[in-house]
Amino acid sequence: MRKTEFANDECYHIFNRGVDKREVFLDTCDYERFLLAMNLLNDSSDGLMIRWRDYKKTNPEVVLDDFLKLGFRKEDPLVEIVAYCLNPNHFHILVKQVKDKGVEKFMHKIGTSYTKYFNKKNKRSGALFQGKFKAVHIDSNEKLLYLAAYVNKNNFIHGYNKNDDWEYTSLPAFLGKREDKFICKDIVSKQFSSTKECSEFFNENALYMREKKEDEKCLIE
């Protein structure tokens, strides 16, 4: 029985990792496929992923934005995706639920879709992720801002890279370096007077979290 009860207009930190701590993203195609699922499956209706697959087969040069302009999507999202980060063996997503059971439906869709893709590609079977996704209710604005820093800079906190050049995080969108049309970052970004202030807040908190993580690792070892 899941302890967290999801409510509309509330924000949640969602995360999970590969079973047995295995890597779940092995190459660029894997990261892009998970992001595609986050984009196309965040909808009350089903079938958009299949429509994209079929359309891409007959129009190999088309890009996703062009496909979405054709009007197949009814714009009825289950959640608002606030921020995300994909790391080799786990992921983090900040969401705001906008439909009843939206978080559960969204995570079931992307988990099932990506596992089927990964298993077929790698000729394996069985669960890919470590049980049900984990969820923490974000019950204050202070926690929301703290977790926005934690998620956007999660690759840095875990030591995957030292700069802000990790492609598979929403950080570039917050820094004005990229447009991620499928995220709704305003709930966080509008609280800063400038991109620079947002960046400094993220950096300071991420550095603290990384140092804390290293200290805890030393204590354990």
Task: Specify if 185 maps to a domain.
Answer: yes
In the structure, what pLDDT confidence band is assigned to residue 219 with cuts at 50, 70 and 90? very low
Structural domain harbouring 107: 11-42+77-220
pLDDT at site 3 = 67
pLDDT at site 2 = 57
Q: What is the mean pLDDT of residues 55-67?
A: 88
Percentage with pLDDT > 90 across the chain = 69
pLDDT digits over 93-143, tens only?
A: 999 999 999 999 999 999 999 999 999 999 999 999 999 999 999 999 999
Weakest mean pLDDT among 38-47, 81-90, 122-131, 160-169: 160-169
* Main-chain dihedrals φ then ψ at residue 49, nearest 5 degrees: -65, -40
Weakest mean pLDDT among 15-19, 163-167, 187-191: 163-167
Percentage with pLDDT > 70 across the chain = 95
Task: Specify if 37 maps to a domain.
Answer: yes
Neighbours of 194 (CB within 10 A): 10
pLDDT at site 216 = 61
State the alpha helices, DSSP H only, in the chain: 28-40, 48-58, 64-68, 102-122, 141-152, 154-157, 171-174, 186-189, 195-220
Task: Specify if 69 maps to a domain.
Answer: no
Q: Give the alpha-carbon dihedral of 19, 23, 27, 30, to 10 degrees.
A: 20
Task: Specify if 68 maps to a domain.
Answer: no
pLDDT at site 217 = 55
In the structure, what pLDDT confidence band is assigned to residue 69 with cuts at 50, 70 and 90? confident
Instruction: Assign residue 96 the CATH number of its domain.
Output: 3.30.70.1290
Quote the Cα angle for 143-2-34, to 5°.
70
Indicate the number of domains in the chain. Answer: 1
Q: What is the mean pLDDT of residues 28-44?
A: 95
Task: Specify if 59 maps to a domain.
Answer: no
Q: Of 86, 57, 83, nearest to 183 (Cα)? A: 83
Task: Specify if 207 maps to a domain.
Answer: yes
- Four-residue CA torsion sign, 185, 163, 169, 176: positive
Weakest mean pLDDT among 18-22, 67-71, 128-132: 67-71
Comparison of pLDDT for 216 and 116, the residue scoring more: 116
Task: Specify if 48 maps to a domain.
Answer: no
Q: What is the mean pLDDT of residues 1-15?
A: 87
Tell me: pLDDT of 221 over 80. Answer: no
Task: Specify if 62 maps to a domain.
Answer: no
